[in-house]
Amino acid sequence: MTAPKADTRIQPVMLNKQETAALLGMSGDMFRKRRAALQRMGFPEPHPFLKKWYIRAVLAWLDGQFGLDAINSRSAAAAERELEEW
């Protein structure tokens, strides 16, 4: 009996326009129309050579939109102090 093969598929980290739009929960057409407004809000630019978006940059931008970047950057001690003061 042979051992099962390991999953060697590589998860892509660069997203095309359709994939980026889907990650944001919108159609490709809606993303095209709203892209300039998103970029004014700090949405990352696509890579200049690859013409694709880095998934971690998009996710970090989303985290920032919901205040999660501030939560993630706080120390555990600071969070505990805030809870005690509350």
Q: How many domains does the chain have?
A: 1
Residue 78 lies in a domain: yes
Tell me which residue range forms the domain holding 78: 14-85
Name the helix (H) or strand (E) containing 29.
helix 28-40
What is d(CA 69, CA 86) in angstroms, rounded to the nearest whole number?
21
Residue 9 lies in a domain: no
Residue 8 lies in a domain: no
What is d(CA 30, CA 79) in angstroms, rounded to the nearest whole number?
38
Name the helix (H) or strand (E) containing 14.
strand 14-15
Residue 6 lies in a domain: no
Q: Which residues contact 60 (CB under 8 A, 6 or more apart)?
A: 69
Residue pLDDT tens, the chain, 86 long? 676 776 678 888 999 999 999 999 999 999 999 999 999 999 999 999 999 999 999 999 999 999 887 666 656 566 667 667 76
Phi then psi for residue 75, to 5 deg, are -80, 160
Write down the pTM of the prediction. Answer: 0.72
